[in-house]
Amino acid sequence: MKVLVTGAAGFIGHHVCRRLTATAECEVLGVDNLNDYYDVALKRARLARLADRENFRFVQADFADATAFHGIYDLCKPDYVVHLGAQAGVRYSLENPAAYVHSNLTGFTNVLEACRRRPPKHLVYASSSSVYGAGSQPPFAEDADTDRPLSFYGATKKSNELMAHSHAHLHGLAITGLRLFTVYGPWGRPDMAPILFARAICEGRPLQLFNHGKNLRDFTYIDDIVDGTLKVLLYPPADGRMAPGRVFNLGHHRPVETLLFVRMLEELLGRTAQVELVDAQPGDMFETCADLTRVQAAVGYAPKVPLEEGLRRFVAWFREYYGAG
C-alpha cells in the first residue's frame, strides 16, 4: 500500500508518517516544501525521526507548483493520499493572506487535479474547526452553517471543502475532509498556544491571554488525531458522487478555558506565569467544541488521551527539545 503524505515535515504530518511506516506493508512518500513560516530546524528534526524507516521517502517540493507535484504524484502512483500540507495559523492570515491563497487554494487545486487524473482509493485532507464561524453553536456538528468563517484562514479551509465537494461530485473521487480541533502534543508548532505559553512561563515573560482567558478550546492530543485520520483513511465513501461533501470532526469534546490550560501548564512546569488578560483578538472564536457523533458512527473514533495526560507528555518533550528547566 502506497501512501502520499503532504506536509510530512509538519506537526501532524510527521506523526502520521511515523504511524504509517510502523508497518512494513506500507510505503510512504512524504512531500514538504520546508518553508520558513516557523523554525525549519524543528521540521528537519521531525524528518530525522523518520530517517531510519526503510519504507519512508521524502521529497522537498511545493505542492502549489503544479508541474512539480504532478510529476511526483505520477511517479509515486499512490493508493491513498493524506493531504496535511497547508499554510496554517489564524492570526498570520491577517498579515499575509497571499500565503494562504498560494498553499490552501492553488496548492489544494493541484492535489485535487492530480487525484482526478489518477484516482487514489481515498483522499483525506485537513480542514479545520475554523470553518465554524458566526452563528455556529457548540458543540459544532458537521451539518451546521459554515458560511461565515471569522478568519481568512477559516475561509480558505471552507473553500477547500467546497472544492473537494465539486471534484467528488463531478469525478466520483473518494474524498473526506477532517475538521481538526486545536491539536497539541510533542513536536507541535511553535506558533500554537502550548509552546507559546510554555516558553513564556519558563522564560519569565508576560503571557497575553485574549478575551481575558475565557476562550474555550477543544484541545485534542496528537495521537487521537492520528488514530482518527488513519481510521477514516481506510474507510472511504463507497461512491464519491453519493457522498461528495463528506466531512468529519476530529476533536476531544471537552473544551477548556485557556486560563485553566495555563494553570495546568504552570503546575507541570513548576513555575508561575505572568498572565496579562487582554481583549479578544480579531478572527478568534470564543469557543470550539466538536460533536463527534458522525465520526464515531462511521469509523468508531473516540479520543482516548485526557488533557492532563496529554499535557504531561507535551511538557516532557518540551523540556527535552528546548532544554527548559
CATH class of 2-183+221-250: alpha beta
Q: Where does 193-216+253-289+304-322 sit in CATH, by number?
A: 3.90.25.10
What are the distances in angstroms from CA 242 to CA 52, 55, 169, 175? 41, 34, 8, 11
* 174 contact partners, CB below 8 Å, separation of at least 6: 119, 120, 121, 122, 123, 168, 236, 237, 239, 240
| 170 Cβ contact list (under 8 Å, min separation 6) | none
Q: What is the pTM of this model?
A: 0.96
Q: Kindly report the average pLDDT of the chain as a whole number.
A: 96
* 92-103 mean pLDDT: 96
Domain ranges for the chain, please list them.
2-183+221-250, 193-216+253-289+304-322
Residue 257 has pLDDT above 80, yes or no: yes
Cis omega before residue 139 (within 30°)?
yes
How many angstroms separate the first and last alpha carbons of the chain? Answer: 43
pLDDT of residue 18: 98
pLDDT over 70 at 169, yes or no: yes
Active site residues: 153
d(CA 108, CA 96): 18
Q: What is the pLDDT of residue 325?
A: 63
Residue 180: strand pairing partners? 128, 250
Q: What is the pLDDT of residue 270?
A: 96
Q: Does residue 31 carry a pLDDT above 70?
A: yes
Does 283 score more than 80 pLDDT? no
